[in-house]
Chains A and B, each alone.
Chain A
Amino acid sequence: MIKRMFERLFQSQVWRSMFRHGLPESNRTRAETVFYNFFLHVHPTKVRKRSIRFTYTWGLGGLSLGLFIVLTATGALLMLYYRPSVPQAYWDMKDLQFVVSSGQYLRNMHRWAAHAMVAVVFLHMLRVFYTGSYRSPKEFNWVIGVFLLVMTILLSYTGYLLPWDQLSFWGISVGTNMVRAVPFGMGETISFLLLGGNVVGENALIRFYVLHCFIVPVAAVILMGIHFWRVRKDGGV
Chain B
Amino acid sequence: MNTGRTYFAIWSVALLVVLAISPLKDFFREWRWYQYEYNSLTSELPQRIKPADIGIKQIWARQLDRVDRCVTCHLGLKEKALSESRQPFRAHPQIHHEYEEFGCTICHEGQGPATTFEESVGRVEYWDKPIFPKDYMEASCGRCHKEPNVPQAPILTMGRKIIEESNCIGCHKLEGFDRQWVPSLDGIGSKVNRNWLVRWLKNPKSYFAKTRMPNFFLSDEEAHLLADFLMTFTSFPSNAHLEPIPEHLGAVSTSARDKLVELGSTRFREARCISCHPINGKGGYVATDLGKVASKVSPQWLYNYLKSPKRLQPGVEMPRYRLKENELVAVAAYIGSEFVDYEMEELPAQTPDPAYYEKGLALYKKYNCSGCHELGGMKKAEEMGPDLTTVGDKKLYEIDFGNVSIEHTLPLYLFTKLKDPRAFLASMKMPKYEFTDEESRAVAVALLGNTRDAIPVELKVFPKPPSTYSPQGEFGKLVDDLACFGCHTMFGRGRLVGTDLTRESSQAQSEWIKTYFKIPYSLRPILTERMPNLFLAESEIQVIVDYMERVFIVDSLAQGIHIVQTKVSEGRNLFFEKYGCQACHQVYLKGGYVGPALDKVGSRLKPGWIIHWLKNPQALNPESIEPNNNMTIAEVEAITAFLMSLK
Contact = CB atoms under 8 A, between A and B. Distances in A.
Contacts of A99: 56, 69, 113, 115
B162 interface: no
Contacts of A98: 69, 113-115, 119
A161 B126 CA distance: 17
B386 interface: no
Interface string A136-172: 0000000000000000000000000000011000000
A47 to B, nearest CB: 19
Interface string B54-75: 0010000000010101000000
A82 B544 CA distance: 73
Q: Is the interface of A mostly helix, strand, loop or mixed?
A: helix
A102 interface: yes
Contact of B23 (A87, A102, A166): A102
A131 interface: no
Interface in A46-63: none
B2 interface: no
A98 B115 CA distance: 6
B31 to A, nearest CB: 10
Contacts of B67: 91
B113 A95 contact: yes
A101 interface: yes
Interface string B101-143: 0000000000001110001000000100000000000000000
Interface size range of chain B in the complex: 10 to 19
Contacts of B56: 99
Contact of A102 (B22, B65, B119, B126): B22
Contacts of B345: none
A94 B124 CA distance: 14
Interface in A102-150: 102, 104-105
B98 interface: no
A95 to B, nearest CB: 6
A105 B22 contact: yes
A98 B57 CA distance: 12
Interface residues of A, number: 12
B393 to A, nearest CB: 15
Nearest to A166: B126
Contacts of A165: 126
Contacts of A87: 65
B113 A94 contact: yes
Contacts of A166: 126
A94 B69 CA distance: 13
Contacts, number: 26
B329 to A, nearest CB: 72
B26 interface: yes
A142 to B, nearest CB: 32
Contacts of B23: 101-102
A95 B126 CA distance: 16
A101 B69 contact: no
A104 B115 CA distance: 13
A166 B69 CA distance: 24
B69 A102 contact: no
A166 B127 CA distance: 12
Nearest to A101: B26
A63 to B, nearest CB: 14
Interface in A217-236: none
Most chain B CB within a 10 A radius of its CB, from A98, A101, A166? A98
Contacts of B126: 165-166
Contacts of A94: 113-114
A53 to B, nearest CB: 15
A91 B67 CA distance: 10
Contacts of B113: 91, 94-95, 98-99
B34 to A, nearest CB: 15
A67 B433 CA distance: 64
B628 to A, nearest CB: 51
Nearest to B22: A105
A117 B489 CA distance: 76
A99 B32 CA distance: 12
Contacts of B119: 98
Contacts of B115: 98-99
A98 B68 CA distance: 12
B458 to A, nearest CB: 21
A99 B120 CA distance: 13
Nearest to B111: A94
A139 B605 CA distance: 111
Nearest to A94: B113
Nearest to A99: B56
A166 B126 CA distance: 9
Nearest to B115: A98
A102 B26 contact: yes
Contacts of A91: 67, 113
Interface in B2-30: 22-23, 25-26
A105 B65 CA distance: 28
Interface in B23-59: 23, 25-26, 56
Residue among B22, B25, B65, B114 with max Cβ neighbours from chain A (10 Å): B22
A94 B26 CA distance: 15
Contacts of B25: 105
Nearest to B21: A105
A87 B65 CA distance: 10
Nearest to B119: A98
A98 B114 CA distance: 6
**Residue from the set B26, B56, B126 with the largest chain A CB neighbour count within 10 Å:** B26
A69 B56 CA distance: 32
Contacts of B65: 87
A165 B126 CA distance: 10
Q: Which of A104, A105, A166 has the most B CB atoms < 10 Å from its CB?
A: A105
A99 B58 CA distance: 11
A83 to B, nearest CB: 14
A87 B69 CA distance: 18
B237 to A, nearest CB: 52
A95 B113 CA distance: 7
A95 B56 CA distance: 12
Interface in A187-235: none
Contacts of A105: 22, 25-26
Nearest to A106: B22
A166 B395 CA distance: 13
Given A94-B113, A98-B119, A101-B26, 20 more contacts: A87-B65, A91-B67, A91-B113, A94-B114, A95-B113, A98-B69, A98-B113, A98-B114, A98-B115, A99-B56, A99-B69, A99-B113, A99-B115, A101-B23, A102-B23, A102-B26, A104-B22, A105-B25, A165-B126, A166-B126
26 contacts: A87-B65, A91-B67, A91-B113, A94-B113, A94-B114, A95-B113, A98-B69, A98-B113, A98-B114, A98-B115, A98-B119, A99-B56, A99-B69, A99-B113, A99-B115, A101-B23, A101-B26, A102-B22, A102-B23, A102-B26, A104-B22, A105-B22, A105-B25, A105-B26, A165-B126, A166-B126
Interface of A: 87, 91, 94-95, 98-99, 101-102, 104-105, 165-166
6 cross-chain pairs, A with B, having the tightest CB-CB distances, nearest first: A105-B22, A98-B115, A102-B22, A101-B26, A102-B26, A98-B113
